[in-house]
Structure 1
Amino acid sequence: MKKDQLTSRRRALLAGAAALGAAGAAAGLFGLGAGEEAVRAPAPAAPGPPARRPLRPSAYRLQPLTGYGPPRAVPGRPPVRRRPLLSVSGIGRTMVLTFDDGPDPRYTPDILDTLRAYDVRAMFFVCGEMAAAHPHLLVRMADEGHVVGNHTWSHPLLTRLTGARIRTEMERTCDVIEDTYGERPRWFRAPYGAWNRAAFRIGAELGMEPLAWTVDTLDWTEPGTRTIVDRVADGAAPGVVVLSHDAGGDRSQSVRALRSYLPELLDAGYRITVPSRLQV
């Protein structure tokens, strides 16, 4: 058999093995707003890889998301929702930290440094124009295991835009995230929390789930570091999604607040994690 024929056969075998492994991957649950039902992934058609002992959160979080291992399975299109997801489902005292409007080289690196110091992951809902200007920060987010979501290109009020303009805002940002982060986003968040039917529909067509928040720190008003810390502490509960910002103004209070409330949450027994999208 010729050398290139052997190479082709080897590639085919490797691709088949990767596909079988992806088919057996398990998926979690979403936290839904009122009136929604959680959706479970269908049973896998073939057994997955051998069971392994569960990894500690820290052992998984800092694994790079791109550049290693078999290709990821492409998720199916999510349902078109009528309201965003407000919380997440998980075992025990699970919370999610989210940061909007970045990345900003003045504040995002400090936030990433703090998250790395405590070995946790967070979600960053980025604006496309900011991501395009600072792609190295998205590369770092990917390398350190954070999840990047779509926060539109220029942070407009979606309820005042046509469907075509909403699609452009979202799609351009999806493309930038894919080019720099390594995969297309699976989550989106409407600027100002202003959702409409077109935004839900277009987001679903682009393969994204809408995620809102449970606790708003209102850090964009610059209320003071202690106030931000208190708002997170007062709102802490299983399944909570916390909204903060790493761009859009002076976010030095947000940076300092994270350094304070993150160890407090961990000491209180909370597990800071990121949600999983169902493979549907």
Structure 2
Amino acid sequence: MNKRKKTRWPVWLVGFIVLAGGILGINLMVQNVLAGNHSVTENVEVSPSAYPGLNIETRTKKTKHYILSISNVLTNNKEINTPIQTWVNDQEKKFLTQVKTGTKTLQGDHRAELNITVDTNKINDHLYSLVFTSYQITTGGANGQSIIKSFNIDTAENKILNLSDIMTYDKATVNHIMSIVKEELKKQKNVHSYVFEAELQKSIKNPSGWKWSIGNGVFTLYFNKYEIAAGAAGTVQVNIPLKSLHSYLKKDLTKKWNITYENNDEPKGKRPTQPPLDPKGKYVALTFDDGPHPKVTPRVLKTLKEYNTKATFFMLGVQVEYYPDMAKKVAKAGHEIGNHSKSHPNLANMSLSEVRKQIIESSHRIKDATGEKPTLFRPPYGAMNESVKKVTKEQKTPIILWSVDSLDWKSRNAQAVNKEVAKNIRSGSIVLMHDIHASTADALPHMLKSLKKQGYQFVTVSQLLSLNKSTGNGPYYNQ
């Protein structure tokens, strides 16, 4: 029988390996602690969108020191996915580096935040303009920083398009576009006074650096904060009617891509009036945030229908954009729809112009999908500043908070959700839930059955406010 020969390692080598492993382990542990990874809540989900060939990946992460929320678009092609993923990864890497550097200043509720969202402009079933916004709050002051990056993709030819693929341009073309941009900026009264002429000239004269998209009859240019204007202007967007650029577009473009030159009309719709409530009744308003979701929202709707219950859904503009049919189903079922911002940032750390964009753009998307403009607003995290109050007052959308937090976002457990609601519910309560967690859909049947047994009736937030004769902008927590 052959004896297996034992390998003898030199003592110095064994010691080195142990030491190196120890140092590596300590280094990783330190990095995890610095990033708050000893208390991490992370979720990754990939689901099909309303756009052919595109899937949406949503990744959320909460640690002691930061909150991360990233939306990304995935296609079936590596040549398209790789540069997009590289940019997203680069944004996350820079963010985490800054978090690590400033960890000592991130205590209590002062957590850093990275919020990456994507707007999708559909040209046809294989041509899309993807406009990413990376919004970061680290330790560099109260206001965050927004960075915009656009990717124009062709899923049929499996490539990312360059400006030269759609437009023939030379010095004369650039000068003409410069004049159009200036005229369009004059119409933006909240931006025009902050524009730096020299910086605008510098940016426009570099077409290879343009951040652009096409959709709904317009060619759009995007400028990062401080790129062409003072910080008070925030990020700047200029929409140029495609008909103004007709002579510069590639000749076969309109036929091949089926591009239209006029903006589409917005759908019109009107919600039926609700009957008045009995002042002696026992009412609660159930609310659902962060949707619509392609898997969870249908389950929530089914349960609400079974119990003949109406609720209020505070929707995100980016979610409505990707799942417009689901938003439409919520409205068609007779539920109330509120605005929850475009991309769920902490509005309390944003400028007036940034807050206005978050609220108004989300409102437009909800109206496009459902046919009705939302009449209520709930700020993400319940965070607000004077800018939020100003814009919501302008839009006539009262600020709605909550009096019962189900903590479904934290527990992700149906029994825990029901226990939390049962413990804190009372007549007049506004209950906070999220129609993006499967556990919330799991909890709902027992919750409705139990509350109905106790004599509660379920109403929308607007009905609850009318019962209390509430007027003004709020914020409203109710009982």
TM-score by length of 2: 0.39
Report the Cα distance in structure 2 between the residues aligned to 1:68 and 1:198, rounded to whole angstroms.
Answer: 29
Q: 8 Å contact 1:89–1:239 — kept in the other structure?
A: no
The answer to whether the aligner puts 1:254 opposite 2:443 as a matched pair is: no
Q: Secondary structure at the match of 1:187?
A: coil
Aligned: 1:97 with 2:286: yes
Give the corresponding residue for 1:165: 354
| Distance in 2 of aligned mates of 1:258 and 1:118 | 10
The equivalences for 1:59-74 within 5 A come to 66=269
Which among 202, 206, 223 is matched to residue 391 of structure 2? 202
The answer as to whether partners of 1:66 and 1:142 remain within 8 angstroms in 2 is no
CA offsets, 1:72-97, max 9 Å, x none? 8xxxxxxxxxxxxxxx9954210000
Partner deviation per Cα, 1:126-170 (whole Å, 9 max, x = no partner): 000001110111111111110000000000000111110000000
Check the 8 A contact 1:188/1:211 in 2, yes or no.
yes
Mapping of 1:51-200 within 5 angstroms? Answer: 66=269, 91-200=280-389
Contact 2:270–2:372, Cα closer than 8 Å, also in 1: no
Q: Report the more deviating stretch, 228-237 or 148-157.
A: 228-237
CA-atom RMSD in angstroms? 2.3
| C-alpha distance in structure 2 between counterparts of 1:90 and 1:222, whole Å | 35
Partner of 2:456: 270
Q: CA, structure 1 residues 155+68, in 2 after alignment: closer, same or farther (shift >3 Å)?
A: closer
Paired with 1:213 and 1:121, the residues of 2 have a C-alpha distance of 17
1:222 offset after TM fit, Å?
Answer: 2.7
| More contact order relative to length (CA 8 Å, sep ≥ 6) | 1
Q: CA distance change for structure 1 residues 183 and 67 in 2, over 3 Å: closer, same or farther?
A: closer
| Secondary structure of 1:178's aligned partner | helix
Mapping for residues 27-38 of structure 1, pairs under 5 Å:
none
- Give the drift of 1:125: 0.4
1:236 aligned onto 2:422: no
Distance 1:173 1:89, change over 3 A: farther
Query: How many residue pairs align between the two structures?
Result: 196
CA distance in 2, matches of 1:231, 1:260: 13
Q: Give, in angstroms, the shift of residue 174 of structure 1.
A: 0.7
Tell me the alpha carbon deviations over residues 24-68 of structure 1, each in whole angstroms, 9 at most, x when there is no partner: xxxxxxxxxxxxxxxxxxxxxxxxxxxxxxxxxxxxxxxxx9478
Alignment of 1:205-220 (within 5 A): 205-220=394-409
Decide whether aligned partners of structure 1 residues 99 and 89 sit closer, same or farther in structure 2, where only a CA change above 3 A counts: farther
The letter for the 2-side match of 1:140 is K
SS for the counterpart of 1:260 is helix
Question: 2:269 & 2:278 partners in 1: Cα distance?
Answer: 25
Residue 413 (structure 2) pairs with residue 227 (structure 1): no
Gaps of 5+ in 2: 1-267, 473-479
Which stretches of structure 1, 4 residues or more, deviate above 2 A after TM superposition? 65-69, 88-91, 275-280
The share of aligned pairs that are identical, in percent, is 32
| Structure-2 separation of matches of 1:68 and 1:99 | 19
Deviations 1:243-272 (A, max 9, x none): 00012xxx1111111111111111111000
Amino acid at match of 1:195: M
TM-score with structure 1 setting the length: 0.66
Q: Where in structure 1 are there 5+ consecutive unaligned residues?
A: 1-64, 73-87
- Show CA shifts across 1:194-244 (max 9, x none): 011110110111120111000001111135211100111111211000000
Code of the residue aligned with 1:182 in structure 2: it is: G
Q: Which amino acid is the alignment partner of residue 331 of structure 2?
A: A
SS in 2 for 1:210: coil
Letter in 1 for 2:318: E
In 2, the alpha carbon distance for the partners of 1:68 and 1:232 equals 29
Cα distance in 2 between the residues matched to 1:255 and 1:127 = 19
Name the aligned partner's letter for residue 356 of structure 2.
Answer: R
Match of 2:31 in 1: none
Which structure shows the bigger proportion of residues in strand conformation? 2
